[in-house]
Amino acid sequence: MSRTRGLPLPFDSLRTISGGAERPYLIAALFTASYYEKAARLISSCEKLALPYVAYEVPAVHRSIGSRGVDDLSYTKPNFIHHLLAKHKK
C-alpha cells in the first residue's frame, strides 16, 4: 500500500508580485503565464486603491481549478490558502 503525501504541501511559485498598504487582510491570487494580463489588471486595481495584495505566478494549477490543470496537489486552492496563512499570518 502506497501512502500519498498529505496536505499541506510545499508551495513553490515562479515569481511573487506584492504591494499596497499594510492592512489586517490581504488580497491574494495565483496565476499561470497565460493569465498574466488578468493578474496585471487585478494588481493595477489594488495599487490604485492602495489595497494590500500578493500574486503568485505558478507553472500550473490543479485540475480542480482549471480544465487544463495538473494532478499536482501543491497547486490546489486549499494548499494555496494554507500557504498564505502560514506565510502572511492573515
Per-residue pLDDT tens over the stretch 18-46:
999 889 999 999 999 999 999 999 999 99
Whether 15 has a pLDDT exceeding 60, the answer reads yes
Whether 31 is in a domain gets the answer yes
Question: pLDDT tens digits for 37-82?
Answer: 999 999 999 999 999 999 999 999 999 998 888 899 899 999 999 9
Cell reading at 16: 511573487
Is this model's pTM higher than 0.75 or not?
Answer: yes
Whether 42 is in a domain gets the answer yes
The domain of 44 spans: 15-88
| Number of domains observed in the structure of the chain | 1
Whether 72 is in a domain gets the answer yes
What's the pLDDT band for 2 if we cut at 50, 70, 90?
very low
Catalogue the E-assigned strands of 1-90: 15-19, 27-31, 53-57
What span, in angstroms and rounded, lies between the C-alpha atoms of 32 and 21?
25
Whether 10 is in a domain gets the answer no
Predicted pLDDT at 4: 56
Predicted pLDDT at 8: 85
Say if strands 53-57 and 27-31 run parallel, antiparallel, or are unpaired.
parallel
Predicted pLDDT at 66: 86
Whether 3 is in a domain gets the answer no
Cell reading at 31: 496565476
Whether 7 is in a domain gets the answer no
